[in-house]
Amino acid sequence: MYKFRDATKRVIYVGKAKSLRSRLNSYFADLSGLHPRTRQMVTTAASVEWTVVATEVEALQLEYNWIKEFDPRFNVRYRDDKSYPMLAVTLTEEFPRLHVYRGARKKGVRYFGPYAHAWAIRETLDLLLRVFPARTCSAGVFRRHGQIGRPCLLGYIDKCSAPCVGRVSADEHREIVEDFCDFLAGKTDVMIKRLENEMAAASEELEFERAARLRDDLGALRRAMEKQAVVLGDGTDADVVAFAHDDLEAAVQVFHVRGGRVRGQRGWVIDKAEEMDVPALVDHFLTQFYGDEADLDARDDVDAGPVVPREVLVPELPADADAVAEWLTGLRGSRVQLRVPQRGDKKALAETVQRNAGEAFTQHKLRRAGDLTARSAALTELQEFLALDTAPLRIECIDISHIQGSDVVASLVVFEDGLARKSEYRRFALREAAEEGDVASIAEVVRRRFSRYLKETAEGAAEDSAKPGLDPETGRPKKFAYPPNLLVVDGAGPQATAAADVLAELGITDISVIGLAKRLEEVWLPADPDPVILPRTSEGLYLLQRLRDEAHRFAITYHREKRSKRLQASELDSVPGLGQARRTALIKHFGSVKRLKQARIEEIEAVPGFGRRTAEAVVAALAGESGASNGTQAGE
């Protein structure tokens, strides 16, 4: 175990390692090769201390205790991005109360949840109060109605047993509350069976009103049970964990399954302290989450159940999985399984949790992107860090996509005022520089894009139009009429220099150029030997990342489309006399080779450029190819 301290002796990072020498060597390497957060931590640290422990389990416990004690600024902390509501039962009071609660757990209070929304608790509680008419009012309301000798509205409509006015004794009310807790704890079958027996007995004794009331109670219980979907049929108690992450942040989702039903859900979005893959994220999360939960668990009623479930299902096992499982076993007091689900219902549930994590991560980024203040701060930061004359209100980004030099394409995406302007997106099929690498490809795209810009600018000046950026015939913006304030290319120094050289050749001097390298999120200026490092929490860096990721997505989409069409068109190579243009026309008309194979001769003949003889040749060639394929399968 080791601690980094800053110049004021404050602990800024806590970690564990089997080989301290190897771990420190990884930190004190070339700073340009470190994760931005790690680089900041290493340059802030003034000293390092270490403690030797006997086992990995002891290391896990000590790491958790140190993080809790020192709260190091560079350690990942899994704090809820919101306070999740829970259903609390105040068992220490003479007349226990049921209520919605947020905040730290208290001793003597039993909690159910957490729930995603407070309304979900209130809706469930409203159904169950019909069967378990326990007190839900505050202490002040309870005392006031006791003084006036008249129950509240819930007491009049039989959704409270009205202990405030003595309708039930303290023992009778506590029995109602205990039945309520048993039902929420999963003992639903026992409760349903008991009510069914009481209903049958009331019916036999001709107490039809009581039997009808019990029937309605059963219906309310079943509706409450339906709100907690059964996801695992074997009564599994498990927590299912999933992650979605990028280089700087990670989203975590946890589904709490008890008795085969999803009883609660939680989510976090955290900053990554250093480069961490999924196994490392799992390790950090399990240590902190269950350590915190064990500390918060101050309940003194043994029926509440342990905080750690029997199973913890994760997307990937951490490097020290056995030690983590042993540590969790110690917290629970009985064996805990830590594993990756491989098949069946558990794998399906894990995939659902993974989708939730991805959706939460996307929503987090969209909320941040949609914040006007954050966008303004991002543009201001870029102006400051890149020494621009003005804030880059229009930014364009270029990305190259290919597979081993084949089907090379490029994308150009546009952000204005920090938001995507999708109508301005452009894509390029590269020809001249396709075989010369990404640097030459970047140069070709820049040359084509800004040559068109100069041409359209010259045409606008010649037309002496009041609106030089608009097409005079259609009134719509010309494709390349507006220049960016900042041009971003996907890559490092060589790509940025190549783009700047092309602009200089074209005589364009008022557009700034940078390169954004994927691996370390470094910003490269043309011809500069060292990158510009933006703070990892910078809104400006976040905007550049979104721009680069959008350009990459757009390029990948075009590359896949182009490659798919080429592969489909290649099936028509066997048709004599059919050139590239007519092959492309066929694919475009029918959408795919599969549909083309189903077409009749008359339908193919209707395609422009095709006669009867050519259509027959296409049908014969595709039928022959299909027959040969089927014959091969039959022979096998």
Residue 299 pLDDT more than 70? no
Specify the CATH superfamily of domain 571-635: 5' to 3' exonuclease, C-terminal subdomain (1.10.150.20)
User: What percentage of the chain carries pLDDT values higher than 70?
Assistant: 76
Tokens linked to 395? 């930014």
Higher pLDDT, 483 or 567: 483
The reported pLDDT for the residue numbered 106 is 77
In angstroms, how far is the first alpha carbon of the chain from the final one?
Answer: 61
Residue 114 pLDDT more than 80? no
Domain 372-553 sits in CATH at 3.30.420.340
CA-to-CA separations, 314 to 242, 276, 552, in angstroms, rounded: 6, 16, 29
User: Is residue 577 within 8 Å of 549, Cβ to Cβ?
Assistant: no
Residue range 335-366, pLDDT digits in tens: 889 999 988 888 888 888 888 888 888 877 76
pTM of model > 0.85: no
Residue 314 pLDDT more than 50? yes
Strands 2-5 and 47-50, sheet pairing: antiparallel
Higher pLDDT, 470 or 131: 131
CA-to-CA separations, 174 to 93, 147, 166, 170, 431, in angstroms, rounded: 10, 21, 13, 6, 80
Residue 53 pLDDT more than 70? yes
User: Is residue 203 within 8 Å of 210, Cβ to Cβ?
Assistant: no
Tokens linked to 517? 């390298």
The reported pLDDT for the residue numbered 46 is 84
Domain 238-365 has CATH 3.30.420: yes
> What secondary structure does DSSP assign to 5-72, as a single string?
E-TT--EEEEE--S-HHHHHHHHSS-GGGS-HHHHHHHHH--EEEE---SSHHHHHHHHHHHHHHH--
Mean pLDDT, residues 391-407 taken together? 78
The reported pLDDT for the residue numbered 340 is 92
Residue 231 pLDDT more than 70? no
Residue 306: pLDDT band with limits 50, 70, 90: low
Tokens linked to 171? 């023992």
Residue 315 pLDDT more than 90? yes
User: Is residue 490 within 8 Å of 551, Cβ to Cβ?
Assistant: yes
Order of strands, edge to edge, in the sheet holding 337-339?
Answer: 261-271, 249-258, 238-245, 311-313, 337-339
Residue range 598-627, pLDDT digits in tens: 788 888 888 887 888 888 887 877 775 544
Residue 82 pLDDT more than 70? no
Determine the Cα–Cα distance for residues 346 and 239; give it in Å rounded to an integer: 11
Determine the Cα–Cα distance for residues 490 and 400; give it in Å rounded to an integer: 8
The reported pLDDT for the residue numbered 368 is 61
The reported pLDDT for the residue numbered 316 is 92
Mean pLDDT, residues 117-128 taken together? 72
Handedness of CA 570, 571, 577, 580 (dihedral sign): negative
Mean pLDDT, residues 286-308 taken together? 60
